[in-house]
Amino acid sequence: MSVVLCMDHVSFSHAGRIVLHDLSFGIRAGEMTALLGHNGAGKTTLLRLLLGLTRPGAGQVLLEGRPMQAWSRREVARRIAYVPQGHVPLFPYSVRDIVGMGRLAETPFAPGLHRHDRDEVTHALHALGITHLADRPYTELSGGERQAALLARALAQGARTLILDEPETGLDYGQKQRLYALLRTLATQGHAIVATTHDPLAAARVFDRAIALRQGRIMADGPAADVLAPPMLEQLYAPR
């Protein structure tokens, strides 16, 4: 499996404090990677680095072998899609509008979506099983439905790498299972999936690989079932 996104000796400090220390790893296509760690371990910073939203203090982030800053925002958006934790914008955009935003990198100035873009949106809505929500205001959805809309947007974006921030937050058991099944399908189709999670037990079952962060360093990186076995978990979440 090919490495699509790669951290090469990356360090990052904020306000004089070292947040991440000398991280190196590669994200591979077709693989589901879970990022775990206690609160404040640097997961969010790591996601922002992977998304190219911030630059490392040392080392570099490589997207398809090229340094992240060499890509334009549009080029990055075609390759990496981000699924944030569901939040609510002020204005009541419909679910279709939100998913349509996934096509912004393709047609930023067009007055409307082209036929091809609309097809992508329809397809993404269908893949998430939320076609019936298409014309509902996003602001009125439940947490799970919002999550689904944001995932549909990521699919519509057409990127081969998906980065998700605690995607299971606010989902009930059934929704979680469906989310994991969908992510597995995508991985099988060759997508690279990276997700932060606070649920090591589910991660051990569902993900292929786990990267455990503790105080800004990689404590373990390997098959999820091994990394997230009880002895390691105790160390990982031990009080500092």
Q: Are 213 and 228 in contact (CB under 8 A)?
A: no
Q: Tokens representing 141?
A: 């959805």
Binding residues vs another protein (CB under 8 A): 48, 51, 53, 72-74, 76-78, 80-82, 84, 87-94, 97-98, 100-102, 104-105, 107-112, 139, 157
CB 175 within 8 A of CB 190: no
Specify the residue, 40 or 92, whose C-beta has the smaller distance to another protein.
92
Give yes or no for a contact between 217 and 41, defined as CB atoms under 8 angstroms apart: no
Which residues lie closer than 8 Å to 85 by C-beta, 6 or more apart?
Answer: 165, 166, 169
Give the strand pairing for 32-37 and 161-164: unpaired
Could you tell me the smallest distance in angstroms from the CB atom of residue 62 to another protein? 18
Nearest approach in angstroms of CB 217 to another protein is 25
Taking the complex as a whole, the smallest distance from the CB of residue 154 to another protein amounts, in Å, to 9
- Taking the least distance from each CB to another protein, the nearer of 107 and 122 is 107
Q: Largest Cα–Cα distance in the chain?
A: 56
Q: Which residue has the tokens 């097809």?
A: 119
Residue with tokens 């990276």: 194
**By C-beta, is 140 or 226 nearer to another protein?**
140
Helix axes 143-156, 173-188, angle to 10 degrees: 10
> What's the closest the beta carbon of residue 14 comes to another protein, in angstroms?
14
Q: Are 41 and 214 in contact (CB under 8 A)?
A: yes
Residue 51's Cα: distance from chain center in Å? 9
Return the number of the residue (100 or 216) whose C-beta is nearest another protein.
100
Nearer to another protein, 94 or 169 (CB): 94
CB of 18 to another protein, least distance (A): 22
> C-beta of 139: minimal distance to another protein in Å?
6
Nearer to another protein among residue 62 and residue 105 (C-beta): 105
